[in-house]
Chain A
Amino acid sequence: MAPKLQPRCRFSIRLASESEETVEIKFGLISADSHIVLDKDAFSRNMSKTKWGDLIPQVRETEGRDGKKVHRWFVHDAPAGGWGVANCPAAMDSPNPELKIFPQRWEEVPPKVYDPLERLEALDDDGIDAEILFPNDPARGQFFAFGEEFELACVQAHNDATGEWRAASDRYAPLLILPYLSPIETIVAEVERGARMGHRGITVLGEPSHTVKQGVKHFNDPFWYPLWEAAQELEMPIHFHESANAGLVSVPHWDGYSPNAFHTVMTSPTAAMVAQLIPNLVFSHILDRFPQLKWVCAEAGLAWINYVCEGCDHEWEQRHLWTEGFTTRPSELVHRQVYMNFWYEKSGIELRHTIGLDHIMWESDYPHTTSTYPKSWDYVEKTLAGVPDEERRPMLYENAMRVYRLDGARQ
């Protein structure tokens, strides 16, 4: 189908999707949340060596905690965290399934996570047709620590490198990251550039003024409206991944937790954080101001959205918020514009008809810890036991095809 831009669209660029084939569905499963692993030269290849020299994000040898020589990412000459040189425990061969393994040296990183062609074989082995690609270390938000110009260079290099994956196979749909310290015109230009490269959405910080600081405007500020407008016109959904790094930590860290217990304590409230971000989209008027813009909550599960819908509707009724310009019932806005992912849960699947079958997508989270790889279909069968085929299809791949325009169509 020949897609056409709406006449009102002020963006005259030609989208990469217009010339592309439809993704072939062989298995009937699309992961709406996987994580790219960029190869160790991804930034060097896409940034000016003359200008940035050794500040370019790169893999270097350094001394590990036990004194062994290990590899780690360095950004702006500083180590960029992580329990390994790549976050891909689900793809590691582990002698003990009770242990999470993070590769300590680059040669231990399996090519089936960072080589786009080898990774296609991993997808075939796992029975997955396509992946929506979220960032991974070292690109999970820390570029803003080093000033506007460096941040922009890194973000552009990241988006170029993930764009290479789109060029390698239309089974990959990468998401953009944004340069938060740049003027809004530059941010919008990066989104337009990404649209031309074939990126299929944008992943954002839940509250940049908390996370980035440095004078960055609050999420609700009109400063961001041109971004939402561009994303709407270009059909680029906006993504909150997990807690969207919004910094809503209720209880400070306690030294008494082991690293694993701390992980459970810190990650489990994710949904209770996104369950605040979506009401903010409602009550800031962002949803009704940009009515075609889609929002996706990735790796946050499903069932909590009922809290958002019922709670917002309740407040809207009790406080007569139509007198404040909210003419549409909040749950209608949410059902119109918000999408969610699942991978293991019972509660959201039981409530799938209330949530909306056409707003639920499946995710594998490959190659992170919680990933269903390499037994994704076992998880699917277990999670969707008793769910009829005609209800499975939208959740397993049809919705993702539509949301990410993998069928080549524009609305």
Chain B
Amino acid sequence: MSTTLAPPPPRSFAAKWRDFWFAPGDPTTLGFIRVVAGILIVYLHLSYTFDLYGFFGKYGWYGQEYVNRDRHEYPSQAMPLNDTWDDVPAAADVPEFPHRKKAVVDFINRLPADPARRADALRYLNRLLMTNNSEAGRAGLRYLLMIFENDDRREEALRKFVADAPALGEAPKAPDENAAVPALFQPMPKDERQAVADEIRAFIALLYAPPPAGGRARDPEDARYVLQHLVECDHDSLKAFVRFLVALPADPAEMERLTGYLAYWHAEPSRTVRIGHPIFSVWFHVSDRPTMTAIHFGILAVMVLFTLGVFTRVTSVLTWLSALCYIHRSQQVLFGMDTMMSILLFYLMIGNSGAALSVDRVVQRYRAARASIRRTGGIDEPTRAFLAAPPPSVTAGFAIRLLQVHFCFIYMASGMSKLKGGAWWNGNAIWDVMVVPEFTLLRYPWYEQMMNVIAGSKPVYYTFISCGAWFTLFLELGLPFLIWTRLRPVMVFMATLLHAGIGVLMGLNLFELMMMAMLLAYIPGGVIREWIRGKVGGKPLGFRFDGRSAGGGRAAAAVAAADLDGVVRFDPAGEIAAAPVLTVADGTPAAREAAFGTLAGSLRLLRGLWLILLLPGLRGWLTRVMFPAAPAGGEPTPPKRGVGGPSRPTAAS
């Protein structure tokens, strides 16, 4: 007989794709990630308690008025889809510096409401734009800068401007760049210059115009700021600015809205792809402290339930939405850790992360055992398999794949972006990262001394930083490929090493713990179960019960739910027991309280709950559930109609 296995039949790409993404996966991995990430997330949000009002309150670092305006009005702008190389779009803008911005905005607000009058007053600017020559236009504006300030000098200059026009029939002279009159106007005949002078007068009158509601004329300095802004605009920007001015509606309220938007966002609403941010948060709407505190602790309670795996399908969604409430409200306080958290929560919500290592799983174990006892009077083979390990599920496998692939994206992007920096090529980046005083341990003299020792010897220094940079680059660029090979354990170990190192040396411990939680996605569920199970010791226990009685069935199901390691052997009573009995290894039965004590000492789940079992009445209640008293007369209670299987216990249990 040949020992060589036949090669597997070739599979299509579609089959490989399907098997990669949609093969059922062990939910233990996802459940373990939920527990680890849940603890970190609860901590992360608990730490907000100290800064709840400072970060999310009305007068937070990023105040509510700012964030509300942000989410309602923020302009998303994009280059046009079908522009040409020559057609670079420009938008109207106002100066960045507050005093200059105010002058320009005031100028816009004082424009005539009547579009015809407004267009008439802006004829000079349109004339400059029609030249399609940026420098000529700028010269025309600089000319205004020279003459705008003093009425008498301006009138004198304009009279001269008209008077110096070439006489009719005179041969045009070559433009003189040094002359006061811009080259653009030099060849113009007298009547055309007269028209230009009138346009200049109209525009300058606009610069000094009082507000429409009445008031004093503008300061010459403000007028200068407006002119300087126009000079600083390139041809396209000036064109866009004038277009904006001309297109302003006649309705004063609408005009003010558009001007206000331009002043605040430096954008025109009509030239945006979208306005506002698609974000939500309870902190946009709540600002009084007692309510904020109550909501915050309510959210923490939901997160604790999620971590424990209580109603995980619901609490995972609520936890994700709650975390986004904090994230969306105050992005100024976020860093990489929050990004990792949102990734983890998103995928933990997609997969059923409560199918393992959760209260939900304990409840399922109880329900499965109870159903089996009802069906068969004992715990049948499928149920025992179900109790031994959570069943694989497509959503669990899918969520784990999403996490794995996303992690590769993170590493690849991080590694590729580092290749742009010279400091990662020559290694100096490692030093720069390790001596940032605000992040690292440099405030401790011993750390500074250590850095001194490294820097004190060139060979040591260069070996250290080069190896550090190479290790980082190799890992970030190599892991996305090598993690899918048999080198996976090595890559996981190296990545853990990297994150542990960053966490300790740079203080970004929670960020790195989040990254490590993501790394858990590469660990098979069986391995995690083995880690958690450890070495199961202790003497085996027996649990004799009457599978036909409701109390006995409930008791056995409760014990089966709590027996995570399968140390209890269930005996559905060859001879009918009036009440469930726990037997230790030598077959000695234990009394009710003693029996529960033995169980609580032997089953890991109950051992882990010792603190909770101290709650008054809980221990007694559990004792009554697991070891109910024999019914009066000792007769077993028949199972409910329609839910039980055969009343005789089966050998399979």
- A joins B in a complex: no
Which residues of A line the B interface, CB within 8 A? none
Which residues of B line the A interface, CB within 8 A? none
